[in-house]
Amino acid sequence: MSAARNQEQPQYKAVLEAPEIRRALTRIAHEILERTKGGSDVVLLGVQTRGVNLARMLCRRLEEVEGLKIPCGSLDVTMYRDDLRMKPARAIGRTELPGDGIDDKVVVLVDDVLFSGRTIRAALDALNDLGRPRAVQLAVLVDRGHRELPIRADYVGKNLPTSLKETVKVLLGDVDGRDAVLLGPKTDPKGDDGK
């Protein structure tokens, strides 16, 4: 079985490499500062799991660009997902809000790939139970299209037209040992949520 799997291992091609990812994050950092009048009251919340690493990277970039210490936290949306009943119950991740919370803040949700929009829908629901931000914005590294809900990103690293038969993988240095965005054929027609 595993041997057969290996033979079917699809060929991924890199659509973004480390330098491009770095440039995209830098651009997003600048855009956030512009749109939020210099980043006041901004809180970055990374969506578990890759979004958390991206949020930290973005946070470092903001500090480099503007010398700003933007509060950064993590948000796990597992318990709010609408596809919980489609897979076995899974482990949940950490939700950690910065010390001052999110009330009256401009919360920028950070995720790696925007696809159906369902993860972000769950994130908005989760935020609802955690406080009342003044505004919520969305930053993603890749927007691959195929939205199933009326959700759009405020900041996009790269718009990547894809087919539903494809899958997008984001690799990040601190977890995967390499920064890259990979595009390849979808392997599991059911389970994968397109990332």
Q: What residues line the site for another protein (CB under 8 A)?
A: 76, 79-80, 84-95, 125, 128-131
| Closest to another protein by CB, 76 or 112 | 76
Phi then psi dihedrals of residue 164, to 5 deg = -70, -15
| Closest to another protein by CB, 3 or 89 | 89
Collapsed DSSP state (helix, strand, coil) of residue 187:
coil
Minimum distance between the CB of residue 125 and another protein, rounded to whole angstroms? 7
Q: Is the peptide bond before 187 cis (omega within 30 degrees of 0)?
A: no
Minimum distance between the CB of residue 85 and another protein, rounded to whole angstroms? 5
Q: How is 134-160 classified by DSSP, letter by letter?
A: SEEEEEEEEE----SSS---SEEEEE-
| Closest to another protein by CB, 131 or 184 | 131
Element (H, E) at 193: none
Minimum distance between the CB of residue 19 and another protein, rounded to whole angstroms? 36
Minimum distance between the CB of residue 80 and another protein, rounded to whole angstroms? 6
The total number of residues written for the chain in this structure: 195
Cα–Cα dist 161/109, whole Å = 22
Instruction: Indicate the DSSP class of residue 18.
Output: H
| Closest to another protein by CB, 127 or 141 | 127
